[in-house]
Amino acid sequence: MNTAALNQYKSVGVQTGMVDATPHQMITMLLDGTLDRIAAARGAMERQEVARKGELIGSAIAIIDSMRASLDYNKGGEIAANLGSLYDYIESRLVAANAGGDTGMLDEASSLLREIKTGWASIPSDIRSQP
């Protein structure tokens, strides 16, 4: 199997999904991507693949940073501020997990992100489409 072609195909699929996605769907994809990277980092940590673990955690942090940058503190008020603080906390747990090799901190970060994702998914569809 041609791995390069497969990776290119996957990349095109992700890019197409992002172009066609609503803002709500984009955040869902970002949350999924972050959770995937944390899970992969956990596996790398367990296999003692230090460099790979660091890359994956760094990638998860970058995604969280982009979600934080998308917060609208004027429209979102207290909810946006709380979410920004939660993103800060999750990032601090990821940094600590990377430094200390603690899978429990990765699990905590994943659990918090799953809670955010559950809340995000529960937003009624008529509100999702509002500007």
Q: What is the pLDDT of residues 68-88, one digit of tens each?
A: 998 989 988 999 999 999 999
Which of 61, 59, 71 lies closest to 23, judged by CA? Answer: 71
| Site of tokens 């995000």 | 120
Whether the pLDDT of residue 49 is over 70: the answer is yes
- At residue 91, the pLDDT reads 97
- At residue 85, the pLDDT reads 96
**Structure confidence by residue, pLDDT tens digits, 88-119:** 999 999 999 999 999 999 999 999 999 999 99
Over residues 16-36, the mean pLDDT reads 82
The residues, any chain, with a CB within 8 Å of residue 30's CB and separated by 6 or more, are 63, 66, 67
When the pLDDT of each residue in the chain is averaged and rounded to a whole number, the result is 85
**Alpha-carbon gap, residue 47 to 41, rounded angstroms:** 10
Using the Cα atoms of residue 13, residue 71, residue 76 and residue 31 in order, give the sign of their dihedral: positive
- At residue 114, the pLDDT reads 97
pTM of the model: 0.81
Q: Are 90 and 62 in contact (CB under 8 A)?
A: no
- At residue 23, the pLDDT reads 80
Instruction: Provide the token pair at 6.
Output: 């497969």
**Alpha-carbon gap, residue 55 to 2, rounded angstroms:** 24
Percent of the chain with pLDDT over 90: 63
- At residue 76, the pLDDT reads 87
**Alpha-carbon gap, residue 42 to 97, rounded angstroms:** 9
